[in-house]
Structure 1
C-alpha cells in the first residue's frame, strides 16, 4: 500500500509544483512590468488632496535582485517538476506491465483513486481478494 500512497503523493506534489511555478512566473511578470513602467502615481504634488501614504515604492536595485532570485527558484522548481514527472511516467509504465485483474486493480487504485471497497464492487470481487491482489502487486 505504501507504493500506492507514494504515487498519489507524487501526483499531488506535481500539482503543487505546477501551481508554484505559475505563481513565480506571474510574480516575475509583475515585477518586470513594474521595472519597465515604474510607479504610475508619481505626479506633481497636489496639496488640495489628502496625502496617500499607503504607496510603497520599491527601488529598482531591489526589484532586480528580487527578479533574479525568483528566476533562480523557477529554474530549480522546473527541474524538480521534470524529475517528478519522469518518476510518474516510470510508475505508469510499470503499471502497464501488470496483466488482467492485477492491472485493473492497480489502475483503479492508482489512477482512479478508488477505495478497496469500490474496486471490489466494480470488479465483482471480495474486498479480501482485492487486498490480496494489492499486496501481491506491492511486493
Structure 2
C-alpha cells in the first residue's frame, strides 16, 4: 500500500510548488519596480541599477516562474493519474485505504459507500494499519 505514501508525497510537492509560485510572483513585482525606479527596494541608501541589469533580473524571474509552472502542471498530471489508477483497484483493502487516506472519509461513510457494516470496515482498516506498521518494522 505504498501508493498512499507516493500520493501524499506528490500532493506535498504540489503544495510546495504552489507556494514557490506565490513567492516568485512577489519577486516579479519587485523586479518590475526595479525596472521602473532603478533602485533596489531593500537598500536604505539609493543604489542605482542599470536598466539592462534590471531587465536581466526580471527575465530570470519570468524563466523561474515558467519552469515552476511546468513542474507544477506535470506533478498535478501525475497525481491525477495516480488517483485514476487507485480508483481502479478492486480489493476492499485498496478501496478502504483510498477512501480513508486519499479522500479523507470517515469509516462509517466508507461502510455506507461500499455496502459493508461499520464493524467490518473498521476491521479492514485496522488490518491495513497493522500491515503498514509491520512493513515499517521489517525495513528498518
Shorter-chain TM-score: which interval? Answer: 0.5 to 0.7
**Residue in structure 2 matched with residue 15 of structure 1 by the alignment:** 15
> 1:113–1:17: structure 2 CA closer, same or farther, 3 Å change rule?
farther
> 1:25–1:113: structure 2 CA closer, same or farther, 3 Å change rule?
farther
Per-residue deviation, 1:14: 0.3
- Which runs of no fewer than 5 residues in structure 1 stay unpaired? 40-52, 115-119, 135-139
Per-residue deviation, 1:63: 1.5
Structure 1 or 2: more helix by fraction: 2
- Which runs of no fewer than 5 residues in structure 2 stay unpaired? 107-117, 133-140
**Residue in structure 2 matched with residue 50 of structure 1 by the alignment:** none
Cα RMSD over matched residues? Answer: 3.1
Looking at structure 1, the residues matched to 6 and 76 of structure 2 have their Cα atoms a distance apart, in angstroms, of 13
Q: TM-score, normalised by structure 1?
A: 0.67
Looking at structure 2, the residues matched to 89 and 17 of structure 1 have their Cα atoms a distance apart, in angstroms, of 16
Equivalent residues, number: 116
Larger radius of gyration: 1
Q: TM-score, normalised by structure 2?
A: 0.66
Q: Which has the higher contact order (CA 8 A, sep 6+)?
A: 1
